[in-house]
Chain A
Amino acid sequence: MNLVKQTIDGIYNLLLGLGVTVKHLFKKAITVQYPKERWEMPERSRGVIVLLSDKETGKLNCTACMLCARACPVAAIKIEREKNPETKKFEPTSFDIDTTVCCYCGLCEQACNFSAIKLTGKYEFSVYDKDRLQYDMDFLQEIGRDVKYEKKKKVAKKAVKKAAQKKKEDKAGEEEKSQEKSATKPSAKADAAAEDEKPADSEQKEESKTEDKTGDDKNEPDSSEESESKKE
């Protein structure tokens, strides 16, 4: 009897297997026919690095502040700069990225406050000669021409605001007032800017502040004053 049961069981499972394969036979193949078709890369994919330029003037967004060069963990970015005598601002005279050492971590993009450098979804940059992997400023600008991007300034402000808020929460009630003042004052400015733009954000902000109040009111005279002044 056991043998019969096993046989029937086995046949059932074999048919089950055939069912699975025939089901897959009629599914759509997931193959991408590479040179004819290409993946649509996600917006935040970290492919080749480009330098972004202003859509209207066509000039680089880069202000040669060197933040990206400092952020780079493998020191792949080399920037030389010069002060423009008319505008009295720095401009990059050369901007070289050594992509042979670049690890595509994206820290340069995070560090940049002016939306000047970006990791894009482009990936077809194989070359026969190793020297051609040393990208210079013109090349980086050229491959960045058609990259869509948003100016980063809002994001930067938000980041400042958040950092300040965090500091404030951490220090609340435990440290001296003078230190607290220095931490909260810039955040107040940022709050004001953020409230104009995004009411949803400000609501969150208020919630966090009420929490602060209920927590320990006496130790925090500055922050309560600020919230009152804002309501006015």
Chain B
Amino acid sequence: MLELDPIFDAISEWLASFLPPVVVTIVKGFGTAGVVLGVLSLFVLFFIWMERKVSAHMQQRLGPMRTGWHGALQTVADAVKLIQKEDLVPSDADRAVYFWAPVVCFAAALMAYLVIPFGEGLIVQDLNIGILYVIAITTFTVVSLLMAGWGSNNKWALLGGMRSAAQIVSYEVPLSMSLIGTIMIAESLSMITIVESQSGPFWNWFVFRQPIGFIVYFIAATAEANRTPFDIPEAEQELVAGFNVEYSGMKFAMFFLAEFINMFTISALAVTLFFGGWMAPFPFLDFIPSWIWFLAKAFTSVFVLMWFRWTYPRIRVDQLMGFAWKFLLPLAFLNIILTGIGIYIF
């Protein structure tokens, strides 16, 4: 079938046949990064179109219809427009911080894909601290948002940045805690090992052994990605657009891309940790390539995130903080205790 892993092996062998090993390593590194970036860009293009269509049809509209088949090329047209736009810098802005904020944001969003397994063997580098790495690297987003808010020298942007810092720092705690149950069962931090410990039919997936952990993770992750109902950092009605209000052109596009990449990261992590990663729901469905299973699950998860966004209203700042500290965190601790008891008994 259409397994992608042998293709990459063949390419690296072919490169090794005429290049020195150091060069091969460098080329492989850049090549993989390029492939990941390319694939993610395609996904993001699709997600933006999907978000538009899903939101439109939930409001009984049609959404974009004119550019391409059912507006499929709308995102491409938007990208072209964004590239053409003038790159404005506010006169009082802190230029260096202003410039680097979108770069940090985009890089942090992209670096999570170092350890996400897209399929059997389709992982850039299987770190033995995979989960820790992902949690650590995605938190860089908050730095970039603060940079954007501070660098713009705009009160809306600064408020948005401060809000997002408060929010992400708060939700980071229940997010990390909710994953500990999974790690305890899998007895590993490596993504590959976690997926492999969920092999077999679908009731072996961790979502059925860690339902509380999954719920806490998914809620906290929604907040991490600044998606509705936790989108107070970019609340349009209160903050105009939040941290990215002063950005235009490609810098804005990078924030936008990073947001959608983060959304896919959340979904990919949820699939890896709770829905069996690339595993088919039944062993006899293994003839379908593993990366198709992974993408199908991840895209469903992305759809659920969009579904949330177009259903729920934004919650207040104090409600948001109270929810994280008073509700999610105790729930996450409860989950750890229950998991410990379960492991001790069985």
Q: Do A and B bind each other?
A: yes
B62 in the interface, Cβ–Cβ < 8 Å? yes
Extra pairs beyond A14-B312, A17-B311, A29-B62 (8, CB < 8 Å): A20-B311, A22-B58, A25-B58, A26-B57, A29-B56, A29-B57, A31-B61, A33-B65
Residues of A within 8 A of B (CB): 14, 17-18, 20-22, 24-31, 33
**CB-contact partner of B312 in A17, A24, A29, A31, under 8 A:** A17
Query: Is B307 an interface residue when CB atoms closer than 8 A count as contact?
Result: yes
Q: Are A30 and B60 in contact (CB under 8 A)?
A: yes
A22 touches B307 (CB 8 A): yes
* Closest-CB distance, B55 to chain A (whole angstroms): 10
Contact check, B311 vs A21: say whether CB atoms are below 8 A apart.
yes
Q: How far is the CA of A59 from the CA of B11 in the complex (A)?
A: 83
Q: Return A30 CB to nearest CB of chain B, in Å.
A: 5
Closest to A31 in B: B62
8 Å CB contacts to A: which residues of B293-345?
Answer: 307-308, 310-312
Asked if B59 is at the interface of the complex by the 8 Å CB criterion, the answer is yes
Question: B145: CB under 8 A from chain A?
Answer: no
CB distance from A136 to the nearest CB of B (A): 38
Interchain CB contact under 8 A, B311 and A29: no
Cβ contact within 8 Å between B311 and A25: no
Q: For residue A21, which residues in chain B have a CB less than 8 angstroms away from its CB?
A: 58, 307, 310-311
Q: Which bucket holds chain B's interface residue count?
A: 10 to 19
Interchain CA distance A33-B171 in the complex, whole Å? 43
Chain A residues whose CB sits within 8 angstroms of the CB of B308 once the complex forms = 18
C-alpha gap A35/B58 in the complex (Å): 24
A24 touches B307 (CB 8 A): no
Contact (Cβ within 8 A) A33 B312: no
In angstroms, how far is the closest chain B Cβ from the Cβ of A139?
33
- Give Cα A20 to B59, complex, Å: 11
Q: Could you tell me if A18 and B311 are in contact, using CB atoms closer than 8 angstroms?
A: yes
The answer to whether A24 and B60 have CB atoms under 8 Å apart is yes
Cβ contacts under 8 Å, B59 to chain A: 24
**26 interchain pairs (CB within 8 A)?**
A17-B312, A18-B307, A18-B308, A20-B311, A21-B58, A21-B307, A21-B310, A21-B311, A22-B58, A22-B307, A24-B57, A24-B58, A24-B59, A24-B60, A25-B57, A25-B58, A26-B57, A27-B57, A27-B60, A28-B60, A29-B57, A29-B60, A30-B60, A31-B60, A33-B62, A33-B65
A22 to B55, CA, bound (A): 11
Residues of chain B within 8 A (CB-CB) of A33 are 62, 65
Contacting residues, chain B, for A22 (C-beta < 8 A):
58, 307
The chain A residue with its CB closest to the CB of B312 is: A17
Q: Which residues of A contact B61 (CB under 8 A)?
A: 29-31
State in angstroms the CA–CA spacing of A33 and B54 once bound together: 18
* Cβ-closest chain B residue relative to A7: B327
For B65-96 the 0/1 string (1 means CB < 8 A from A) is 10000000000000000000000000000000
Complex interface: chain B residues within 8 A of A30 (CB): 60-61
Cα–Cα, bound, A18→B57 (Å): 14
* Chain B positions within 8 Å of A28 at CB level: 60
Taking each of B60, B308, B310, B312, which has the highest tally of chain A beta carbons within 10 Å of its own beta carbon? B60
Provide the residues of chain A in CB contact with B307, threshold 8 Å: 18, 21-22
What chain A residues lie within 8 Å of B65 (beta carbons)?
33
